[in-house]
């Protein structure tokens, strides 16, 4: 399946079993390629890229920083890469965010191709052009909007994915179910005959929002459902809780706040909770409320006085609500 | 005078004697402001920004690097700046390139206002959205395309500019005269009654090219007249030769190559040389040709095999010519 994303620079998302086996055809000839991956993924899929340069990063969110970006930039410089060459990000969300960010600022932008290998990266982070790294303890605080030239999702990669990574992806998948109201999309979604359609549904949901608001000035905020609280949970767990799982936990907090703010009825909130339960998403961890709200207040959605929170009214209907720190503190 | 730039994000360039005296009106209320400037300019004009936060960088091209960008990012983070706040770049091209680059990547982009105080920054670098820093010895190797929200050129700032900075700006000004064929624009251009119109002509020339090709994939290359060789001259001089002067010297080299490649006649080349002489631009320095060509080959316009050079056919007509390293080496 191929989905076209009509961003400022249009590109295609190829979702296909075995796509990495024909990667050398998918990447056009006549240009040099640097494959950026991490120590988990490069040993498994790196050899599919014939004749490409390779750069293996240390795996994990704690290496998602400007130091690693400089390593990628130095490698590109050392290899003499030019604007007519290509960087491939091969791996999960962390690798993709960094490879894409480095691509966006090397020579003010060279061609970037995303090859997501995790469920989370396939259904969410590889599409939409948000790139970045963590900075001084804040998630994705430094980055850019930069669209890939091509996204290639090989569903075969999901077979080698550890269980915790599947759960990580399912956290974001639940987000799409709550946003779209299409709970059915989740059921048995990773089975061989459903997985392509499932990834396609998530990508299509994201596509519609990104096409309407590429630079995140309005409706795109909805994609942050669960993220403002989720980023705080990730941070307080010292990144032991994976992003997608933290997002699911963040949806629980957002649902609680929605009830308190009379955005959602108790009944509708319970339906969302039930959906999170069905996919075994953990209950929101009880952090010290002061620590939690301070971590929330590092978010990019914050203005000087308050924060824009995405709250679910019910599955299929979410809205952005502006609240002060005191108001949020009362309701969490 | 106000010139509107219709880039992907439109913005205005205000060219006005004394504009900095009403800067607090020009910057809209209700948002925080960080003024980024350098140790030369902040002491002179920093106090015009009432109630703003200030960050003073070390002056000079040698500090135009990722370390300084991190200092700006840390300052924004420490002050708790959000997307609704504003960064002002107050100074010459180096300060502007860095303040704009940091603005483009902090939270994936916060509002940026350019207050160029040098002739070069007013007529060239503050308009068009190219940002960046030097990296591992290559000029502007890391950066982004990021349009300012507003550009404010206070022509009174030119009064405090040292003579070498005036000459630096005139180097880029000669470039605009060669590109447009309007040699007359240069004559007595800094006199009180002509300076606004002169800056306006340069900005308008740049505007037309940038609007046609914001991301530098085609016609915008023409603005690099003199730059490919100029950057090499800057580098080999260890940045003792200022950018604009190096560009003028680069135009001399490009003119020589144009004659050798039969793009320009000797007669037309002599007219360009005469124009450079009239504004006291130095002759091209004689570097070792091997060193020179290697420095040229660090340029972003390079592809793996060759380089796209902007060569003048005559004043008012320039073109891009693709040449191999060997071909260029023969003609310089």
Verify that B230 and B141 share a domain, yes or no: no
* CB-based contact, B77 to chain A, within 8 Å: yes
pLDDT at position B84: 84
Whether the predicted pLDDT of B29 surpasses 80: no
* B263 and B139 fall within a common domain: no
**Digit-coded pLDDT (tens) for A155-194:** 999 998 999 999 999 999 999 999 999 999 999 999 999 9
The answer to whether residue A284 scores a pLDDT higher than 90 is: no
pLDDT beyond 90 at A196: yes
Residue of B nearest to A138 (CA): B77
Say whether both A47 and A152 belong to one domain.
Answer: yes
Cβ-Cβ contacts under 8 Å for B142 (sequence gap 6 or more) = A73, A105, A106, A107, B66, B132, B133, B135
Tens-digit pLDDT profile for residues A77-91: 999 999 889 999 999
In chain A, the percentage of residues whose pLDDT exceeds 70 is 99
In terms of residue numbers, what domain contains A9? 2-161
pLDDT digits (tens, 9 = 90+) for B164-173: 999 999 999 9
Beta carbons of B135 and A73 less than 8 Å apart:
yes
Arithmetic mean of pLDDT, A128-153? 95
CB-CB neighbors (< 8 A) of B143 in chain A = 105, 108
Regarding whether A16 and A154 lie in a shared domain, the answer is yes
Q: Are A302 and A291 in contact (CB under 8 A)?
A: no
> What is each CA distance from A27 to A21, A106, A239, B207, in whole angstroms?
12, 20, 34, 35
Q: Please report whether residue A77 resides in a domain.
A: yes
Radius of gyration of chain B (CA): 19
Residue of B nearest to A303 (CA): B82
How much is the ipTM here?
0.92
Q: Are A141 and A251 contained in the same domain?
A: no
Nearest to A91 by CA among A130, A50, A131, A45: A45
Please, which pLDDT band fits residue A29 given cuts at 50, 70 and 90? low
Considering only alpha carbons, which residue of chain A is nearest residue B102? A142
Average per-residue pLDDT in chain B? 94
Question: In this structure, are A234 and A130 located in the same domain?
Answer: no
End position of a domain, from candidates A139, A161, A183: A161
**CATH number for the domain including B224?**
1.20.1090.10
The DSSP output letter for B22 is G
Quick check: A73 and B144 CB within 8 A? no
* Residue B184 within any structural domain of the chain: no
Task: Examine residue A80 and state whether it is found in any structural domain, yes or no.
Answer: yes
A104 pLDDT band, cuts 50/70/90, is very high
The number of C-beta contacts closer than 8 angstroms across A and B is 88
Return the residue of B nearest to A82 by Cα. Answer: B303
Give the tens place of pLDDT for each residue, B201-218. 999 999 999 999 998 888
State the Cα angle at A308 between A303 and A310, rounded to 5°: 160
Same domain for A150 and A10: yes
Any CB–CB contact under 8 A between A141 and chain B? Answer: yes
Q: What is the CATH number of the domain that holds B67?
A: 3.40.50.1970
pLDDT the model gives residue A124: 94
* pLDDT for residue B30: 63
Q: What is the pTM of this model?
A: 0.93
Residue A101 has what pLDDT?
98
Q: How confident is the model at residue A41 (pLDDT cuts 50, 70, 90)?
A: very high
Indicate the pLDDT class of residue A30, thresholds 50, 70 and 90. low
- What mean pLDDT is predicted for residues B147-157? 96
Please tell me if residue B136 touches chain A, with a CB cutoff of 8 Å: yes
Contacts A221 to B, Cβ<8 Å: none
Residue B204 lies in a domain: no
Residue B278 CA to residue B5 CA, distance in Å, equals 31
CA-based end-to-end distance of chain A = 42
In this structure, are residues A140 and A130 in contact, taking their beta carbons and an 8 Å threshold? yes
User: B59-110 pLDDT, tens per residue?
Assistant: 998 999 999 999 999 999 999 999 889 999 999 999 999 999 999 999 999 9
* pLDDT one-digit tens code per residue, B263-312: 999 999 999 999 999 999 998 777 899 999 999 988 877 777 789 999 99
Has residue B138 got a pLDDT over 90?
no
Render pLDDT for B271-285 as a digit per residue (tens, 0 to 9): 999 999 999 999 877
Question: Of A127, A144, A161, which residue is a domain's last?
Answer: A161
How many domains is chain B built from? 2
Q: Say if the Cβ atoms of B138 and A77 lie within 8 Å.
A: yes
- Residue B147: what pLDDT? 96
């Amino acid at each position: 399946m191929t989905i076209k994303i009509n961003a400022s620079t249009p590109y295609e998302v190829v979702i296909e079993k075995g796509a990495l086996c024909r990667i050398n055809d998918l990447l056009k000839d006549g240009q040099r390629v640097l494959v950026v991956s991490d120590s988990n993924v490069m040993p498994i899929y790196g050899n599919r890229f014939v004749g490409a340069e390779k750069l293996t990063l240390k795996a994990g969110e704690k290496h998602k920083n400007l130091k690693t970006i400089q390593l990628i930039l130095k490698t590109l410089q050392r290899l003499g890469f030019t604007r007519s060459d290509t960087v491939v990000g091969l791996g999960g969300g962390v690798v993709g965010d960094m490879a894409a960010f480095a691509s966006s600022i090397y020579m003010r932008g060279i061609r970037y191709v995303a090859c997501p290998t995790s469920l989370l990266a396939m259904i969410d982070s590889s599409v939409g052009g948000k790139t970045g790294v963590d900075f001084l303890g804040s998630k994705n605080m430094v980055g850019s909007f930069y669209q890939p030239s091509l996204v290639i999702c090989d569903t075969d990669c999901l077979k080698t994915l550890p269980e915790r990574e599947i759960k990580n992806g399912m956290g974001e998948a639940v987000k799409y179910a709550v946003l779209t109201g299409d709970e059915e999309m989740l059921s048995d979604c990773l089975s061989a005959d459903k997985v392509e359609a499932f990834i396609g549904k998530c990508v299509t949901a994201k596509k519609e929002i990104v096409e309407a608001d590429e630079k995140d000035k309005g409706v795109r905020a909805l994609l942050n459902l669960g993220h403002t609280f989720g980023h705080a949970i990730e941070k307080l767990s010292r990144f032991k809780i994976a992003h997608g799982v933290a997002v699911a936990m963040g949806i629980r907090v957002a649902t609680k706040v929605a009830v308190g703010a009379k955005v959602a009825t108790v009944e509708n909130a319970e339906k969302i909770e039930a959906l999170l339960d069905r996919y075994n998403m953990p209950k929101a961890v009880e952090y010290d409320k002061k620590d939690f709200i301070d971590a929330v207040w590092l978010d990019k959605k914050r203005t000087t006085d308050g924060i824009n929170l995405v709250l679910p009214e019910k599955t299929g209907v979410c809205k952005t609500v502006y609240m002060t720190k005191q108001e949020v503190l009362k309701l969490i």
